[in-house]
Amino acid sequence: MRPDVPGTAAFGKFMRVLQAVADAPEAATVARLARDTQLPRPTVHRIVAALVAEGLVTEEDGVLQLGPRLVSLAFRSFDGSLLRQAAREPLARLRDDLDETVHLAVPDFGEMVYVDKLESHRTVRMASRIGTRVALHTSAVGKAWLATLPEPELSALLDRLALPARTPHSLTDRSNLRRAVAETRERGHSLDLQENELDICCYGMALRGAGHRVLGCISVSLPRYRFETLPAETVLRAMWACAEGVARVAGGR
């Protein structure tokens, strides 16, 4: 039994609700959480609203899931989140198959955060690191994630998303960005054509687990000259194998 610590009752309620979201065998809702935690429904509703605002929980059509900020917090405190662990071997195979730099990223407050990075063995490398935040509209992982959103959610996000230029190639026009997201959906992969960093091009792809749930995104980053000479089919075949490997570990296959 946990000891009572003076002044922590409110925090304890937050943790009970957060734990209940994590433990829910089915779709977690406010009503279900109130029943499981034996807290008043208005209290649970307020706690959920605060957790969503902090990125610790996400809510879609009334269904609650653990949020991306937990991944970032988990990485800072120990070696890897559940996604990072699930993706470790498939991500290593992807890097080794292509000998190019690969990233694993999750969305967080209107950006993508790299939670893992495996370097190419080549001399030309990227300046990114684990914990780097990249914009949705300029990165391959960002556009790959945008392409997974339902249209109403995507439209609402794009309407309020700032689109600053990172390079002269960045998409700063909303109609062009919408077109790029639509093309990503159709192709099944995204592209960053020197939009986030000059002379670096990237392929991006979403990762899915059980119930087709989006877990995060991967990218393969190449110097422009290798991007232009390496067949796209070679890269995409390796990326699909990585995505399938993650899905198997995460229960999506």
**184 and 239 fall within a common domain:** yes
Among 35, 66, 97, where does a domain finish? 66
CATH number for the domain that contains residue 86: 3.30.450.40
Q: How many domains does the chain have?
A: 2
CATH number for the domain that contains residue 25: 1.10.10.10
pLDDT at 80: 40
Residue 180 contacts residue 220 (beta carbons within 8 Å): no
Report the distance separating Cα 73 and Cα 178, nearest Å: 31
**106 and 219 fall within a common domain:** yes
Question: Per the confidence metrics, is the pTM higher than 0.85?
Answer: no
**92 and 34 fall within a common domain:** no
Q: How far is CA 55 from CA 72, 144, 195, in A?
A: 10, 20, 27
Give me the domain span that covers residue 34: 9-66
**58 and 131 fall within a common domain:** no
Residue 191 contacts residue 205 (beta carbons within 8 Å): no
**94 and 214 fall within a common domain:** yes
- 2 is a domain residue: no
Report the distance separating Cα 119 and Cα 85, nearest Å: 17
**33 and 81 fall within a common domain:** no
Q: Which residues contact 179 (CB under 8 A, 6 or more apart)?
A: none
**159 and 228 fall within a common domain:** yes
Report the distance separating Cα 148 and Cα 165, nearest Å: 23
CA count, 13 A, side-chain hemisphere, 26? 6
- 4 is a domain residue: no
- 225 is a domain residue: yes
**86 and 45 fall within a common domain:** no
- 1 is a domain residue: no
Among 66, 87, 103, where does a domain finish? 66
Q: Residue-wise pLDDT tens for the chain (253 aa)?
A: 345 555 667 888 988 998 888 887 777 899 999 999 999 999 999 999 999 888 888 888 888 888 777 655 554 443 345 788 888 899 999 999 999 999 999 988 789 999 899 999 886 666 678 888 899 999 999 999 999 999 999 999 999 999 999 999 999 999 999 999 999 999 999 999 999 999 999 999 999 887 788 889 999 999 999 999 999 999 999 999 999 999 888 765 5
**19 and 94 fall within a common domain:** no
CA count, 13 A, side-chain hemisphere, 40? 3
**165 and 86 fall within a common domain:** yes
**54 and 80 fall within a common domain:** no
**86 and 161 fall within a common domain:** yes
pLDDT at 81: 57
- 61 is a domain residue: yes
